[in-house]
Amino acid sequence: MKNYKGVFVFAQQVDNKLSGISFELIGEGKRLADKLNEKVTAVLIGSDVKGLVDELAEYGADRVIVVDDPELKEYRTEPYAHALASVINEYKPEIVLVGATAIGRDLGPTVSARVATGLTADCTLLEIGDFPLVALPNQEQKHNQLLMTRPAFGGNTIATIACPDNRPQMATVRPGVMQKLDRVAGKKAEVIEYNPGFTPNNKYVEILEISKAVSDIKDIMDAKILVSGGRGVGSAENFKLLDDLAEVLGGQVSCSRAVVDSGWKPKELQVGQTGKTVRPQVYFAIGISGAIQHVAGMEESDIIIAINKDEDAPIFDVADYGVVGDLNKIVPALTEAIKAELANK
């Protein structure tokens, strides 16, 4: 195990464009690597992707390992798993981080099985520390372990998991949870080109056609202001109140899982443990009770404003500002007040 060094992150790209989670993982990987006095390495897998190396370097990667092959043009489980597992076996990283995206949730477990290690899925916090957390009699306490924290049992508790006896220590990380570093223009990284060789076999899926859905829904993870509604809004039609407020503020509407389950809003707008993690400057929680599953997706917002008729709603425990009352009266009044204020400027 002493031969395993450094922090590796899977730099996900689609259509030769790096995904935002790649930069978030580099930022988090850098923080962990600094604690271990090691470097962070981005693993870039694809076809004709060498032009993305500089961008990874500018966001903090000390080294970039490029696996470039025509077989890697589109994501397929077998060639990508072969590529990443081969990199791990060759370079022996101590920690491997993968984004908990549709691709990462398929790739991470497949690779962890191939390199005979464990994987903690959907992590929301990573730290370097001791395992066990508290020293126990007659049991060795190991230091500099990756402590991986994730919601468990439907979000009703938080579990911290370690992998003390196998390497690498692997985790998938939810998009939007970790912070990317500021981009440093012109920064360079060591580049290694590595190709384990790809021989198609009966595990290689043949892609016959790629059909991309066209959506005019903006990604709520990019919003600076979110006006989010829950079951308490009452109906799909009543979301017009939130639409009006969001329009005045120059923000976007989002929602809780209960709203999606009721068919009032599409899944793309869901905030929470089973939705998206957001970090807007201002987050309005309107008619949202504040279950832990929802709070997990928005608690890092700069300012949280809650409107709810139930004064005991858990959302008030995380809100910076709270208003108890009927949202059908409060939201329109707030919208009009903001309109008037803007008109006077």
**For position 134, which CATH number holds?**
3.40.50.620
d(CA 63, CA 8): 9
Tell me how many domains the chain contains. 2
Residue bearing the bigger pLDDT, 256 or 177: 256
Q: How large is the average pLDDT for residues 160-177?
A: 91
Predicted pLDDT at 244: 94
Angle at 83 between CA 62 and CA 55, to 5 degrees: 35
What is the 8-class DSSP label of residue 139? Answer: S
Residue 186 within a domain: yes
Output the pTM of the full model.
0.78
> Are 65 and 104 within one domain?
yes
Angle at 278 between CA 13 and CA 155, to 5 degrees: 100
Residue 214 within a domain: no
Q: How far is CA 203 from CA 81, 84, 118, 335, in A?
A: 11, 16, 23, 56
CATH code of 299's domain? 3.40.50.1220
> Are 234 and 138 within one domain?
no
- Number of residues that this document lists for the chain: 345
- Annotated binding residues for FAD, as ranges? 231, 256-257, 270-274, 287-294, 308
pLDDT, tens only, 179-207: 899 999 999 999 999 999 998 888 898 88
Q: How large is the average pLDDT for residues 284-299?
A: 90
> Are 286 and 333 within one domain?
yes
d(CA 96, CA 163): 12
> Are 22 and 171 within one domain?
yes
DSSP 232-252: GG-SSGGGHHHHHHHHHHT-E
3-state DSSP assignment of residue 331:
helix
Q: Which domain holds residue 142?
A: 7-193
What percent of the chain lies above the pLDDT cut of 90? 71
> Are 126 and 245 within one domain?
no
* Cβ-Cβ contacts under 8 Å for 333 (sequence gap 6 or more): none
Residue 233 within a domain: yes
> Are 225 and 110 within one domain?
no
> Are 279 and 133 within one domain?
no
d(CA 9, CA 107): 13
pLDDT at 140 over 80: yes
pLDDT, tens only, 209-242: 888 776 677 889 889 999 999 999 999 999 999 9
Instruction: Assign 300 a pLDDT band (cuts: 50, 70, 90).
Output: confident
Residue 318 within a domain: yes
> Are 156 and 254 within one domain?
no
Q: Which two tokens stand for residue 60?
A: 């903090």
Residue 210 within a domain: no
Predicted pLDDT at 293: 83
- Annotated binding residues, as ranges? 231, 256-257, 270-274, 287-294, 308
Q: Is 247 exposed, middle or buried (0-12, 13-18, 19+ CB in 10 A)?
A: middle
Instruction: Assign 111 a pLDDT band (cuts: 50, 70, 90).
Output: very high
> Are 187 and 233 within one domain?
no
